[in-house]
Homo-oligomer: A and B are copies of this chain.
């Protein structure tokens, strides 16, 4: 096979067959096809797309470029959730122990934050002593014995994806649905799961800014997962504002812990975060039932089961168990992780309603505080962050606190405050609160 002919075939809009995709992608992974041919190919894919069969072939090749974790000894149904990235999204940290406590394993591999989006691994590392870089064997062991594990990707997983993603990042070829789908799916399938629920974010803080883009991505993800023999569903959820009250690393762990410990009935838990977590848990539980060939429970029964796992303390003890097994300081969690010393209030300068809290800009403001990364080599300060007292649609009076900024010093805190000023808008007209779940498929 000839790499130039494959590039031209894709360029002209023809579908590639599985062998051509494998030849090209593995050739690149093994340094037999140069990066300049791959980048031309990626740009051709950007313009011409890939159909479901091609995308599945790409996933298959990328998946098999590395190891697939053998989870066959885990008897529980194995489900994962994948979010396309947002601000303040700590649902993975809550979902994994919650599901494990009701008999669904969630062997999730997570990533780090980059740019305006946060990463689950960074949040977990805010816990003193917590180790997330485990061997694949330890990952399997923990999933088998506890029903969950919080780990990062190892080098054995999808080397093709690592190499491709680095190239896409510097060649303007990130924003392509089949390439996004293949990158996500190849990593997720390597976990040896039975099914997956996608949380496709949509809005100012999301990769997909419009409902149409989000729907296209969600559809491609579900189709590709099904073609790969996995159960799959997707929710398209709002990311016009941060999810929950906390944005940062330690502060998000504290919010997740509050949910797990106090339960969803606690009025202090932010309702949207609560709703999304329970909705995702219900979807994952439903897929687990299907995977076991069991009769599906009515949604309200599942919700009651989850509520009881939370109120009984079962979910929280699962959380403490895995944290402890991964070296984390559970007493520190119980006390609440410490936040940065300089507390600055961001208050309303006029009476009205919160009209927007641009989530992407909040993510950038977190980087300003030192709590996020501009580039992968940056280090993170886990103690900085934001606590939002108000959300879009809430009424505010002059001088009322909208957000609390936790900074290391006045300078960085004031810089972050200035950024909040430009991205939190107060309007005089009342508005309806944005709908959290925009679509389900």
Contacts and interface: CB of A to CB of B under 8 A. Distances in A.
A8 B43 CA distance: 10
Interface string A156-187: 00000000000101111100000000000000
B167 A36 contact: yes
B171 A46 contact: no
Nearest to A46: B11
Interface string A7-50: 11001000000000000000000000011111110111011000
Given A35-B35, A37-B39, A172 B46 contact: no
Interface in A362-401: none
A431 interface: no
Contacts of A4: 169-172
B7 A172 contact: yes
Nearest to A6: B172
Nearest to A5: B172
Contacts of A3: 170
Total identical chains: 2
Among A44, A46, A172, max chain B CB count under 10 A is at A172
Given A43-B40, A47-B47, A171 B7 contact: yes
Contacts of A35: 34-36
A44 B172 contact: yes
B8 A40 contact: no
A36 B172 contact: no
A164 to B, nearest CB: 12
Looking at A8, A47, A171, the one whose CB has the most chain B CB atoms below 10 A away is A171
A40 B7 contact: no
A174 to B, nearest CB: 9
Interface in A72-125: none
A47 B7 CA distance: 13
A179 to B, nearest CB: 13
A416 to B, nearest CB: 25
Contacts of A7: 171-172
A40 B38 CA distance: 9
Interface string A205-225: 000000000000000000000
A11 B43 contact: yes
Contacts of A40: 39-40, 42-43, 171-173
Contacts of A46: 11
B42 A171 contact: no
A-B pairs with the 9 shortest C-beta distances? A7-B172, A43-B43, A40-B171, A35-B36, A39-B40, A36-B39, A8-B172, A47-B47, A40-B43
Given A11-B43, A37-B171, 9 more contacts: A11-B172, A35-B35, A36-B38, A36-B167, A37-B39, A40-B42, A40-B172, A43-B43, A43-B44
